[in-house]
Chain A
Amino acid sequence: MASKVKLSKAQKAHERQRTWQNIKKNKWLYVMFAPVLIYYIIFKYVPMVGIVIAFKNYNVFKGIWASPWVGFQQFQRFFNSIYAWRLIRNTFLISFYGLIFGFPAPILLALLLNELKDGAFKKVTQTISYLPHFLSSVIIAGIVTSFLRPETGLFNNIRAALGLERIYFLIYPQYFRTIYTTMGIWAGIGWGSIIYLAALTGVDPELYEACIIDGGGRFRQTLHITIPGILPTITIMLIMRIGQLLSVGSDTILLLYTPSTYITADVISTYVYRVGLIDANYSFSAAVGLFNSVIAMVLLTISNSLSKRFGETSLW
């Protein structure tokens, strides 16, 4: 027994020596990796520590550490404000509409593309459908703004030609979600279909042959072979999407909303930007941001465990 322990101690020492030798041998790898590690510490981990300002009353002159602790006061202030519910509802509804209308669109496109014969027509269609993905959100929002302009916009010109009145769509809150969701589908449908097309190429061709022998037509093949074949991908994408229900990016919304549409268009991330960076309420908006990321994290964790159970795949 004793000798065995001794032996393992010697082994351990040996192991340690070998590890050390290994590190010395690969010292260049560590030199290479050092800037990467420093990058992650400075730009990712330091801001994480900086979240403490959400529990403080940050004062620019005192700095983060000398500013006084206030506990959950900033969070209370947010939940007592008239904006809290509106922001949560807007954030949720915007991604919910994206989920209902935006999620199935690329799947349908992929299924239809899959029915095309391989060739120039298919390639050109695909390439065209990717176009919006390469343009900046400013260009896309700029086109939307131009098209919806009351006096000269394309949509209003069409309305005027049909004898309808011109509407300044972007200043009425009831249109915002429709505009945003439609724009999202237009901009994302082509690019979103790639992942499903990749999954479609993985469906075993023998299954189709078997179905044809059984007398199954094209529609039955799609229903019984194609869709089940890409169902795992759909499930994972859906679950990931559900995990992001409360993470709406501020990018495009900042470009399209106006104070007159805040009532439906203002989401948590745009509010954090306005209150934090325009009004310089750092602690308050950091608290709002932290609330949002905690909820998002919880949603992601739930959806990931669902994914593990049903999709047999997961993010971690």
Chain B
Amino acid sequence: MKKSASRKAFEVFNVIFMILLSVVMLYPFLYVASCSVSSSASIQAGRVGLIPEGFNIDAYRAIIGYKVIWRSYGNTIYYTVLGTAINLIMTMLGAYPLSRSDFYGRGVFTVIIAITMYFSGGLIPTFLTINALGMYDTVWAIVLPGAISTMNMIIMRTFFQGIPDALEEAAIIDGASDMQVLIRIILPLSVPSIMTIGMFYAVGHWNSWFPPLIYFRTSTKYPLQLVLRQIVIENNTNELEAMQQGMYIEDETKMNSSAETLKYAVIMVSAIPILCVYPFVQKYFVKGVMIGSIKG
């Protein structure tokens, strides 16, 4: 089929538009990366673009020497691993019975669960409940209140329902208990979907900062995102000065401007793990959205 001139023009425009869009999406990160290795004087003078000027890695050296960043990194990993493990166990324990048509009371339980998608106690009553449970300033306030995302549980239930009943029945006839069926039959068959949902949860934990903000009093328990917020958004001078100790700065004026480079470097340090992982995991997320949209 021959293409008309206007069609060709449109196609060219479309490709240019997509390239522009990609640039708009990526440029901020490339700029941040470039600034994080440039001299602060060049940033200030507006001379830094995609190519760094006055290349140096002092900021990264300072961050490596600054133990608050590493501690918060460790905290984030801890909360993510523990939180995701709890999420997956609880979500499976909910999803499997709900996927069984012979689970008496399934309708009632579904309603009890679905109601919570539309009504909630709200911030203050939830906060007071968690305090009353003695979870304030403990890791449990971070990992337990969100142990199940109802949406994820519904997605997982849909996955489980897709597994042929005959497999379960055969196992039950062979004398397997429901627990054994879940562990030996259902789980091995659902590894991809469990991975997908596990990644939903893990990215959520990795990026979470509001619950830690309201439930942690002790700053040594802060995750990376909260430390990042202190440094980049609140411009916390204590943190910045502490980091600058590692930068061998000769005079006061340089002290002030090096803070900028440090902020860019801290953004990079916290974004790098996600930037490395997301191109590989995004397709699972997309799949999850599709399933969620069909059900919802």
- For the complex formed, measure the closest distance between the CB of B119 and the CB atoms of chain A, giving whole angstroms: 6
Q: How many residues of A contact B (CB 8 A)?
A: 89
Identify which of A29, A35, A121, A195 contacts B15 (C-beta below 8 A). Answer: A121
Q: How far is the CA of A42 from the CA of B128 in the complex (A)?
A: 12
Asked if A100 CB lies within 8 Å of chain B CBs, one says no
Whether, in the assembled complex, B109 has its beta carbon less than 8 Å from a beta carbon of chain A, the answer is yes
Q: Does B96 contact A (CB under 8 A)?
A: yes
Query: Which stretch of B16-24, B51-59, B77-85, B241-249 is in the interface?
Result: B16-24
A50 touches B10 (CB 8 A): no
Which A-chain residue is minimally distant from B275 (CB atoms)? A131
Chain B residues 128-142 with CB under 8 Å of chain A are 128-130, 133
Residue of B nearest to A154 (CB): B31
In the bound complex, residues from chain B placing their C-beta under 8 Å from that of A124 are 22
**Closest CB of chain A to B77's CB: distance in Å?**
15
Assess the B263–A146 pair: CB atoms within 8 A.
yes
Residues 237-283 (chain B) with a chain A CB within 8 angstroms:
257, 260, 263-264, 267, 270-271, 274-275, 278-279, 282
Q: How far is the CA of A160 from the CA of B95 in the complex (A)?
A: 57
Q: B233 touching A152 by the CB < 8 A rule? A: no
Chain B residues, CB < 8 A from A273 = 123, 214
> What is the chain A residue whose CB lies nearest that of B144?
A43
CB pair A134–B274 under 8 Å, yes or no, is yes
- The contact string, 1 if C-beta is below 8 Å from chain B, for chain A 283-313, is 0011001100100010010000000000000
List the B side residues contacting A158 at CB < 8 Å: 46
Which of A's residues lie within 8 Å of B, judged by CB?
Answer: 19, 22-23, 26, 28-33, 35-37, 39-40, 42-51, 53, 64, 109, 112-113, 115-116, 121, 124-125, 127-139, 141-143, 145-147, 149, 151-152, 154, 157-158, 160-161, 186, 190-191, 194-195, 198, 217-218, 250-251, 254-255, 269, 272-273, 276-277, 282, 285-286, 289-290, 293, 297, 300, 315-316
User: What are 24 pairs between A and B in contact, CB < 8 Å?
Assistant: A19-B104, A29-B100, A32-B178, A32-B182, A33-B97, A33-B103, A39-B144, A39-B147, A40-B148, A50-B124, A50-B125, A50-B126, A51-B121, A116-B14, A121-B15, A130-B282, A134-B274, A135-B207, A135-B274, A138-B226, A143-B32, A273-B123, A276-B124, A282-B124
B interface residues, Cβ below 8 angstroms from A:
4, 6-7, 10-11, 14-15, 17-18, 21-22, 24-26, 28-29, 31-32, 43-44, 46, 90, 93-94, 96-98, 100, 102-104, 109, 112-114, 116, 118-130, 133, 144-145, 147-148, 177-179, 182, 203, 206-210, 214, 225-226, 228-229, 232-233, 257, 260, 263-264, 267, 270-271, 274-275, 278-279, 282, 285-286, 289-290, 293, 296
